[in-house]
C-alpha cells in the first residue's frame, strides 16, 4: 500500500518540555549559561526539576514544534522521533497526533526514558534549556521509512540531531533518499553552541549540497563563520549557493540567496512572554509558504507571523489555528 504524500517530513528529537519562570540569580546559582542549550544526564535532570518549582509540561522538541506549526497552517506533515514506551512518551505521541501530524515511529520497549528539556524563562523572555536526551539517543537508520521520505516534498531536520551519533547516520540516510527522489532537504542550525560543536560538519553539509535550505538566527550564523560581524557572516553565507532564512529577533529576518537578500520586518506583538520556539515556528511559516508556492517575501512574512504568535505565550506550540491567523492577517495559505 503506497505511503500518503506529505509536504514536510520532520526528523528530530522527541522531547517533553518542562517550562518554568525564573530569575537571573537562579541561573547563576546553578551554573547555567543564559540562552544556551546544555545536555545533562538523568540524575541532573531530576535535581534541576526539583529546584525549578511550578512548571508547565508540554510536548516539544525543535523539529517537532516546527512540524506541529506546519500542521496548524494546513500543511500535510509527518514526524520521525524516538520515544520510550513510558508516560511521557505516550503523552508526546498523543499530542503530536492530536495536532494532525502523522507519527508512527515505534516506541522503545527498553533503555533510557523519554527525553525531557527543562526550560527556564527569565523576565526578558530569554530561555535557557537543559536537555536530557534519553530515548532520543537511540534514533537510528532503522527508524527511517524510505517510502515515507520519498513521498515527502521537504525533509526538515534539526542541528541538535548531531549530538546522538546514530541520529546523524539516520539523517544522512534520509537526506540521500530525499534527494534521489528529487525532493528538498532543510536544516535548522538550532543553537550557536551546537554550531560551535559541529561547525565543520554543518559547513560540509551546506557545501556538499546535502541541504538545500538553511534556517539560523543571527548568533548561529556568526558562529558558523566565526565572526562577530553579522554582515560578514551574511556575505559568506551568500557564496554557499543555498537558500537561507536568517532571523534577527525584533529586527525581523533576512532571506538570502546567491543573487539577492530580502530584509523583512518582524511582525508586531503586544507583549513578549517567552521566546521558546520562535525559530521553530518561523521555520514552520516559511516552509508552509515555500511548499505551497509563495514567493520568498510572503514565505518570510508567514514565518514572522507564526513566530510572533508563539512568543506571546508560554510553550512552543501554537495557541491558535495558524492557517486562520494567517488569513486574518492577509496571508492566506494557498490550497
**Which tens digit of pLDDT belongs to each residue from 87-100?**
889 989 999 999 99
Task: Note the pLDDT of residue 177.
Answer: 98
Contacts for 283 with CB less than 8 Å, ≥ 6 apart: 66, 69, 156, 186, 188, 215, 245, 303
Q: For the ranges 213-217, 246-250, 311-315, which has the lowest average pLDDT?
A: 311-315
Residue 23 lies in a domain: no
Residue 20 lies in a domain: no
Per-residue pLDDT band for 132 (boundaries 50, 70, 90) equals very high
Q: Are 301 and 52 in contact (CB under 8 A)?
A: no
Residue 108 lies in a domain: no
Residue 278 lies in a domain: yes
CATH number at residue 144: 3.40.1190.20
Average pLDDT, the chain: 93
- Residue 140: CA atoms inside 13 Å, Cβ hemisphere, count? 7
DSSP 264-277: EPPPP-S-----TT
Task: Note the pLDDT of residue 2.
Answer: 53
Task: Note the pLDDT of residue 3.
Answer: 62
Length of the chain: 335
* Positive or negative torsion for Cα 253, 20, 72, 185: positive
Range of the domain at 155: 6-11+62-87+137-328
Residue 50 lies in a domain: no
- Per-residue pLDDT at 120 exceeds 60: yes
Q: Please tell me the total count of domains within the chain.
A: 1
Residue 281 lies in a domain: yes
Q: List strand residue ranges (DSSP E) for 76-196, in order.
A: 77-80, 102-103, 115-121, 127-132, 152-158, 184-188
Residue 308 lies in a domain: yes
- Per-residue pLDDT at 4 exceeds 80: no
Q: For the ranges 54-68, 182-196, 215-229, 297-311, which has the lowest average pLDDT?
A: 54-68
- Per-residue pLDDT at 127 exceeds 90: no
Reported pTM: 0.90
d(CA 12, CA 25): 32
- Read off the pLDDT of each residue in 130-142 and give the average, rounded to a whole number: 91
Task: Note the pLDDT of residue 282.
Answer: 98
Task: Note the pLDDT of residue 1.
Answer: 43
Q: What are the tens digits of pLDDT across the range 248-307? A: 999 999 999 999 999 999 999 999 988 889 999 999 999 999 999 999 999 999 999 999
Per-residue pLDDT band for 165 (boundaries 50, 70, 90) equals confident
Residue 26 lies in a domain: no
Amino acid at each position: 500500500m503506497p505511503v500518503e504524500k506529505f509536504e514536510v517530513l520532520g526528523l528530530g528529537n522527541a522531547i517533553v518540555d518542562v517550562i518554568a519562570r525564573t530569575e537571573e540569580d537562579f541561573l547563576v546559582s546553578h551554573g547555567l549559561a543564559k540562552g544556551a542549550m546544555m545536555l545533562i544526564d538523568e540524575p541532573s535532570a531530576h535535581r534541576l526539576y526539583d529546584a525549578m518549582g511550578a512548571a508547565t509540561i508540554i510536548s516539544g522538541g525543535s523539529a517537532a514544534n516546527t512540524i506541529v506549526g506546519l500542521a496548524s497552517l494546513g500543511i500535510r506533515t509527518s514526524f520521525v522521533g524516538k520515544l520510550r514506551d513510558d508516560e511521557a512518551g505516550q503523552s508526546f505521541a498523543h499530542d503530536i497526533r492530536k495536532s494532525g501530524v502523522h507519527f508512527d515511529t515505534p516506541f522503545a520497549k527498553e533503555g533510557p526514558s523519554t527525553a525531557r528539556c527543562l526550560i527556564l524563562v527569565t523576565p526578558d523572555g530569554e530561555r535557557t534549556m537543559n536537555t536530557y536526551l534519553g530515548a532520543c539517543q537511540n534514533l537510528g537508520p532503522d527508524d527511517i521509512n524510505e517510502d515515507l521520505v520519498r513521498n515527502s516534498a521537504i525533509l526538515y531536520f534539526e542541528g541538535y540531531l548531531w549530538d546522538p551519533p546514530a541520529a546523524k547516520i539516520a539523517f544522512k540516510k534520509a537526506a540521500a533518499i530525499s534527494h534521489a527522489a528529487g525532493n528538498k532537504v532543510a536544516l535548522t542550525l538550532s543553537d550557536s553552541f551546537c554550531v560551535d560543536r559541529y561547525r565543520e560538519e554543518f559547513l560540509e553539509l551546506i557545501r556538499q549540497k546535502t541541504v538545500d535550505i538553511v534556517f539560523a538566527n543571527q548568533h548561529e550564523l556568526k558562529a558558523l563563520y566565526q565572526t562577530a560581524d553579522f554582515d560578514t557572516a551574511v556575505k559568506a553565507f551568500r557564496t554557499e549557493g543555498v537558500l537561507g532564512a536568517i532571523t534577527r529577533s525584533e529586527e525581523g529576518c533576512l532571506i538570502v540567496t546567491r543573487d539577492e537578500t530580502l530584509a523583512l520586518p518582524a511582525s508586531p506583538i503586544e507583549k513578549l512572554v517567552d521566546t521558546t520556539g520562535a525559530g521553530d515556528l518561523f521555520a514552520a511559516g516559511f516552509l508552509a509558504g515555500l511548499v505551497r508556492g509563495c514567493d520568498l517575501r510572503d514565505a518570510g512574512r508567514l514565518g514572522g507571523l507564526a513566530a510572533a504568535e508563539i512568543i506571546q505565550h508560554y510553550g512552543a506550540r501554537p495557541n491558535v489555528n495558524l492557517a486562520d491567523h494567517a488569513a486574518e492577517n492577509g496571508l492566506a495559505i494557498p490550497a
